[in-house]
Amino acid sequence: MTRIAAIALLSVCLISPDLFADDGFTFSINPVIGRIFGHTSYVMDAQTYDSVIGTYRMKSKLEFPLDISMAGATVGFTQYRAERKYLSVELGFAMNVNDPGGAMKDHDWIGPTDRSLIKWSYTESEDDLKALILTAEVAGRLYSRRNSEAFIFAGFKYQKLKQDVFGYEGWQLYSGEGGEIDTLFIADDTVKAMYYEVTYKTPLIGLKYCQGITSPFSANLTAAYVMVLASDVDDHFLRYKISTADGIGYGFYSDLYIRYIMSPKSNGIKPFITVGGEFLTMKVATDQTQKWYGDDPISEEDDTGQVTSNIPHEISSTQFMLGLKLGIEF
């Protein structure tokens, strides 16, 4: 993270050689509250072989809800030239203050590789979540005209989501005595079903545009390309199996915020309110490794110690956030 921030700062300096010939600078402190909507999911899609039925395909998808409230803060430093922003640096953090309102959804399909898959299992479970988000950003001015400004920026966002999954309720297909397919409804609200942890390390690079609307209002729009370094761990307690994966992917980030300056700058203090929203989407295609630390109850043989590698695995997340910042600049 330190290396990325240093590269970003150097890039801004190269854009503006006389960067530090400024007219002044300000600091800002911003408590932040927000609401995130969206999900994190992963899909495992693999072929396997059975001596009786031959080669067949198994697909599983887990969807973890992200409808949570967040609280945190940002601190910022801004340099000015000719009374306009020239360079800004911002650091922030946020943590969730509640558990998701939605359920974790587990889908499973099976079938021959040359035919359509059959969905044979679906369950929903309660999800307890701990989320941590850290951000860092450096922006340098490209141009300014009247009441508009444009900036190039580089940043880094770190997200760690830890999710304990409790109980399950749903259905599974099974073959009856006569070979017919029937549905078995299952439920257990006492068992701890699994633990899931995913980490996203995301360098960003993009553009910011600031437009004065009418004093004291202004609008700020951001668009950025995101490189994603993701890793996850799925400890499936019911099957005595732990799955891990990591890889590099891509994404897109955008935000739109409206800022209202509550009073003209006086005595060196400028209070303001910022409201708006953010959008982030990420996708990483990688390979998963599964290890059994006990005997899987759904198989006929003892799986303890078995390891399966190179399973096609896709990690993805789509997030929307509505946020409010109450800040002071001095």
Helix runs in the chain, H state only: 2-15
Q: Is 49 within 8 Å of 104 (Cβ atoms)?
A: no
Give 64: exposed, middle or buried? Use CB within 10 Å, 0-12, 13-18, 19+: buried
Lowest mean pLDDT among 13-22, 162-171, 237-246, 285-294: 13-22
Q: 153 — phi, psi (to 5°)?
A: -140, 155
Give the pLDDT score at 176.
76
In this predicted structure, the answer to whether residue 1 has a pLDDT above a threshold of 60 is no
Mean pLDDT in residue range 129-154 = 94
Cβ–Cβ under 8 Å, residues 122 and 110:
no
Region 259-278 average pLDDT: 83
Q: Does residue 158 have a pLDDT over 90? A: yes
Q: Is the pLDDT of residue 64 over 80?
A: yes
- The full set of domains in the chain, from first to last, is 2-15+24-329 (2.40.128.90)
In 3D, which of 172, 160, 155, 141 has the Cα closest to residue 238?
Answer: 172
3-state secondary structure of 295: coil
Q: Is residue 232 pLDDT above 50, yes or no?
A: yes
Confidence class for position 2, pLDDT limits 50, 70, 90? very low
Q: Radius of gyration over alpha carbons of the chain, in Å?
A: 25
The two tokens of residue 207 are: 């553009």
pLDDT at residue 195 in the model:
97
Q: How confident is the model at residue 269 (pLDDT cuts 50, 70, 90)?
A: confident
The pTM of this model reads 0.88
Neighbours of 69 (CB within 10 A): 13
Q: Is the pLDDT of residue 13 over 50?
A: no
3-state SS, residue 238 = helix
pLDDT at 330: 83
pLDDT for 114 = 65
Q: How high is the pLDDT of residue 169? A: 97
Q: Average per-residue pLDDT in the chain?
A: 88
Average pLDDT over residues 142-158: 94
Largest CA distance in the chain: 85
- Binning pLDDT at 50, 70 and 90, where does residue 83 land? confident
Q: What is the pLDDT of residue 155?
A: 97
Task: For residue 286, list its beta bridge partners.
Answer: 313
**CB–CB of 71/93 below 8 Å?**
no
